[in-house]
């Protein structure tokens, strides 16, 4: 196990003022605005970043008034800009350089917190607020886990909390100016660029694409993976070809929680976290009844496995609920043991299969639907099982022919409906939420007990 080096980070405090580093602010704002514009234009990917400073949103991106308003709102909310009149200033000067100036001015006056967004249980983005002080507290720990880095190569956007911590704040902590964006390059290009002293920031799907190239890393190249669970086999493969892979466990709601650098091992809590067991503590004279004692024992177990306590930079403490159940190995080490909120992760994004099914059931040709994650042998996307609603039309003659003599098969009808549903989903769901496979049948798959059952793609 890697030993934390507590003596090799730049700790001047200047890194807290991250926005004074022009490339960092430029990258964050462009990533945020590009993502917001993409949400406003389903199925139409926005112009790839990096964006030039003189980019004009109306002239160069074709942004209309509603899109501009959405982009401005997203920027004000993400950076928690509380300067009076900043919204009007942004809308009056829809140019990237002007918006960067406005953001820099606002942050210089008030940069206490940032707001990140993730999917909520309704399918709508959830707002996750983090103080700059607690994020800097985490980055101190990350810097101690990644000493000696001279460059950061990133395959993740900087406006999500994972990217913000590792590609905006961590470079400031380590004294790194060289951050290389890999998102428009293939993993092969990234592999060719990697050299000793690099930290490669990516997610499991990206690492999977890279290992297909049978890579060989130079000594002292470190990778980091987060956003979704990294399969043990993948982590072991990367270790075998010379990469030290740092896996981070956390969420947008509470940021980083723990780390490991060996496949299959337990995660270790970051220094400022501890298990929450106080909620279930009881005094000997409390609740002598056996049933009440049992209930308190259950509460204690739930508190220990579903919440953490954080020591804050100001000396206080805060309790944070978890989205996962944790299986504790001891007081500092744990393994994730399943989602609590029924979310699954696709490409590093939390998605909710029940919400996706509700969207499919809005289609007039769908009578019922269920959605779940693919089996490991099927892929890493969502799949949908759909019960079609009988289509109105000409009476069908025996043998499957209509009165005009044209022959229709169930397979052809299902293929046509599948295409319709793919278009329907593309207009209403984000890319990770869209089912990659549709299966059709007369009823939803269920076990003999009546509980929902899994199905094999294209088998009904």
**3 is a domain residue:** no
Please check whether residues 196 and 330 belong to one and the same domain: yes
- Point out the least confidently predicted range of 219-223, 253-257, 267-271, 391-395: 391-395
Q: Give 266-290 pLDDT, tens digit per residue.
A: 999 999 999 987 543 334 444 445 5
Within this chain, do residues 56 and 142 fall inside the same structural domain, yes or no?
Answer: no
Q: Does the residue 86 lie in any domain? A: yes
Pull the structure tokens for residue 316. 């206080």
Render pLDDT for 215-234 as a digit per residue (tens, 0 to 9): 999 999 999 999 888 999 99
pLDDT, one tens digit per residue, over 404-455 is 444 456 788 899 999 999 999 999 998 999 999 999 999 999 876 567 889 9
**pLDDT computed for residue 337 by the predictor:** 83
> What is the model's pLDDT at position 280?
39
Query: Of 133, 158, 191, 128, which is closest to residue 35 (Cα–Cα)?
Result: 158
Query: Over the chain, what is the mean pLDDT?
Result: 85
At 305 the pLDDT is 53
Q: How confident is the model at residue 342 (pLDDT cuts 50, 70, 90)?
A: confident
Count of domains for the chain:
3
Residues 62, 161 within the same domain? no
The CATH number covering residue 87 comes to 1.10.1200
Residue 294 or 431, more confident: 431
Q: Which of 338, 372, 396 is the last residue of a domain?
A: 338
Q: What are the tokens at 169?
A: 């704040």
Kindly state whether residues 166 and 265 are assigned to the same domain.
Answer: yes
- Residue 344 contacts by C-beta under 8 Å, 6 or more apart in sequence? 350, 351, 352, 353, 372, 373, 382
Q: Are residue 182 and residue 68 in the same domain, yes or no?
A: no
In this prediction, residue 399 carries a pLDDT of: 41
Task: Tell me what percent of the residues of the chain surpass a pLDDT of 70.
Answer: 83
Walk across the sheet containing 366-373 and list its strands: 366-373, 382-388, 437-440
Range of the domain at 324: 132-338
pLDDT at 286: 46
386: domain CATH number is 3.30.300.30
Residue keyed to tokens 């993976």: 225
Distance CA 69, CA 429 (A): 21
Last residue of a domain, one of 315, 338, 361: 338
Residues 187 and 310 in one domain: yes
SS3 call for 371: strand
Closest to 348 in 3D by CA, of 179, 160, 141: 160
Phi, psi of 348, rounded to the nearest 5 degrees: 85, 5
Query: 146 and 63, same structural domain?
Result: no
pLDDT score, position 459? 54
pLDDT at 228: 82
What pLDDT sits at residue 423? 95
178 and 215 assigned to the same domain? yes
Residue 73 near residue 127 (C-beta atoms within 8 A): no
Higher pLDDT, 394 or 350: 350
Compute the half-sphere exposure of residue 113: CA atoms within 13 Å on the CB side of its CA. Answer: 10
Q: Are residues 334 and 356 in the same domain?
A: no
Q: What per-residue confidence (pLDDT) applies to 124?
A: 55
Which residues are CB-contacts of 296 (< 8 A; sequence separation ≥ 6)?
A: 280, 282, 286, 287
Please, which residues bridge with residue 273 across strands? 310
In angstroms, the CA 303 to CA 320 distance is 10
pLDDT of 202 reads 95
Percentage of the chain modeled with pLDDT above 90: 63
């Amino acid at each position: 196990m890697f030993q934390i080096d507590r003596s090799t980070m730049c700790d001047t405090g200047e890194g807290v003022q991250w926005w004074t580093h022009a490339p960092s602010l430029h990258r964050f704002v462009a990533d945020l605005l590009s993502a917001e514009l993409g949400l406003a234009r389903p199925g139409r990917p926005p112009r790839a970043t990096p964006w030039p400073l003189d980019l004009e949103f109306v002239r160069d991106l074709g942004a209309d008034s509603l899109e501009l308003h959405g982009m401005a709102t997203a920027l004000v909310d993400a950076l928690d800009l509380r300067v009076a009149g900043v919204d009007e200033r942004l809308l009056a000067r829809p140019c990237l350089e002007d918006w960067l100036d406005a953001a820099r001015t606002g942050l210089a006056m008030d940069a206490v917190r940032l707001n990140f967004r993730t999917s909520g249980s309704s399918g709508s983005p959830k707002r996750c607020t983090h103080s700059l002080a607690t994020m800097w507290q985490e980055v101190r720990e990350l810097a101690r886990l990644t000493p000696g880095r001279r460059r950061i190569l990133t395959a993740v956007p900087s406006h999500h909390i994972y990217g913000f911590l590792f590609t905006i704040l961590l470079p400031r902590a380590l004294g790194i100016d060289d951050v290389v964006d890999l998102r428009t390059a293939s993993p092969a290009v990234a592999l060719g660029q990697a050299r000793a002293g690099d930290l490669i920031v990516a997610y499991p799907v990206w690492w999977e694409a890279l290992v297909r190239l049978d890579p060989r890393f130079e000594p002292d190249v470190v990778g980091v993976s987060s956003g979704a669970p990294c399969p043990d086999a993948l982590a072991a493969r990367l270790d075998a070809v010379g990469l030290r892979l740092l896996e981070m466990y956390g969420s947008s709601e509470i940021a980083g929680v723990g780390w490991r650098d060996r496949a299959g091992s337990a995660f270790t809590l970051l220094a400022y976290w501890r298990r929450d067991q106080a909620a279930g503590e009881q005094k000997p004279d409390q609740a002598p009844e056996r049933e009440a004692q049992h209930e308190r024992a259950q509460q204690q177990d739930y508190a220990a496995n579903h919440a953490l306590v954080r020591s804050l930079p100001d000396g206080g403490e805060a309790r944070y609920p978890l989205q996962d159940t944790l299986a504790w190995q001891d007081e500092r080490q744990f393994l994730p043991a399943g989602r609590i909120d029924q979310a699954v992760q696709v490409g590093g994004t939390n998605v909710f299969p029940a919400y996706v099914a509700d969207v499919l059931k809005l289609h007039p040709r769908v009578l019922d639907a269920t959605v779940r994650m693919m089996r490991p042998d099927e892929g890493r996307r969502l799949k949908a099982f759909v019960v079609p609603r009988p289509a109105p039309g000409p009476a069908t003659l025996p043998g499957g022919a209509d009165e005009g003599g044209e022959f229709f098969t169930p397979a052809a009808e299902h293929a046509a409906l599948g295409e319709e549903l793919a278009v329907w989903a593309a207009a209403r769901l984000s890319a990770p939420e869209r089912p990659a496979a549709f299966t059709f049948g007369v009823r939803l798959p269920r076990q003999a007990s009546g509980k929902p059952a899994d199905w094999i793609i294209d088998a009904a």
